[in-house]
Amino acid sequence: MSAIDLLFDHLRGNGRKAFMPFVTAGDPDLNFTAAVIRRLVEAGSSMCELGIPYSDPIADGPVIQASYTRALEKQIKLDDIFKLVDRLTPDLGAPIVTMVSYAIVFRHGLEQYADDARAAGVAGLIVPDLPVEESAVLADICRREDLSLIQLITPTTPRDRALRIAERTTGFIYYVSTTGITGERTELPPHLLDDVAWLREQTPLPICIGFGISHPEHVRMLSPVADGLIVGSAIVRRVAEAATRPREEVLREIARYVDDLLAAME
């Protein structure tokens, strides 16, 4: 079983749901990324999603796009990110998965990316721009490396295609709550609960919901049907304030925000 399989077995055995924050690697620098991840896990996060900066990300809204731009301006390299993960994972107590464009994986080499990720302690890959029809090679490589290949299903995914994606996915299904781009929202679609309920009947995989989740009300709405919730832009926006505010103050604010969301999961 992969680290992510073990995590969800443990959570289910304890009647808990996963809280999964997203952080951009290298914004504003890798040292602060490490500090944020540690504080997020200390606050109760189950798993961390680490964004690999890319100049042309798919489906990311302005907050995450801006964070990628800031990181790239600092000349952040993939090898530096793997070194960061390698430093963090031995005593972190929570898996790290990378959100990475297929262009980066392809340029690095599929086998090499999987080898380097696994050696660094990465537990899984989310590759949002890799169609399920073209994912077989990477899926086989990840299986050999005991890495989860987490794939996305959206509200507009036809149901027959959603089933193919679920069959090819390992670790958990990333269910996109809304059409469009990432970003904080005040409301989520009313059909979301029914869509997730249908998918749950089709697959034993954990289903984690992301995109737009930013308020305790969202958490209370989705926790009953989800195995985990993913929060990105709301955290990335707070991390960005480290450029103008004391870093410890920003870390405390992030921890308070996560506390409020976790309280809504109970």
- Could you give the residue numbers annotated as active site? 49, 60
3-state secondary structure of 199: helix
Dist CA 49 CA 178 (whole Å)? 19
Q: Is residue 47 a contact partner of residue 97, using CB atoms and an 8 Å limit?
A: yes
Which residues 6+ apart lie within 8 Å of 106 measured at CB? none
Closest CA relative to residue 183, chosen from 65, 51, 46, 264: 65
DSSP secondary-structure letter at 8?
A: H
3-state secondary structure of 117: helix
Per-residue tokens: 109 = 């080499």
Phi, psi dihedrals of residue 251, rounded to the nearest 5°: -60, -40
Q: Is residue 207 a contact partner of residue 198, using CB atoms and an 8 Å limit?
A: no
